[in-house]
Amino acid sequence: MPLPLAPAGVSAQDAARAYRTADGTTAGTTADGGGDFGGMLQRALKGAVQGGEQAEAMAENAVAGQGNLTEVVQAVSRAELTLQTATAIRDRVVQAYQDIMRMPM
- How far apart, in whole angstroms, are the C-alpha atoms of residue 82 and residue 100? 27
In-domain check, residue 21: no
Q: Is residue 80 part of a domain?
A: yes
62-98 tens-digit pLDDT: 888 887 888 888 988 998 999 899 899 889 999 999 9
20 located within any domain: no
Report yes or no on whether pTM surpasses 0.75: no
pLDDT for residue 13: 57
Rounded Cα distance, 104 and 87, in Å: 28
Say if 97 falls within a structural domain: yes
Expressed as residue numbers, the domain containing 80 is 36-102
Distance between CA atoms of 78 and 50, rounded to whole angstroms?
11
Q: pLDDT digit string (tens) for 7-57? A: 444 555 555 555 544 445 544 445 455 568 788 888 888 888 898 898 898
CA 1/CA 29 separation, integer angstroms: 17
State the DSSP H helix or E strand holding residue 32, giving kind and residue range, or none if neither.
none
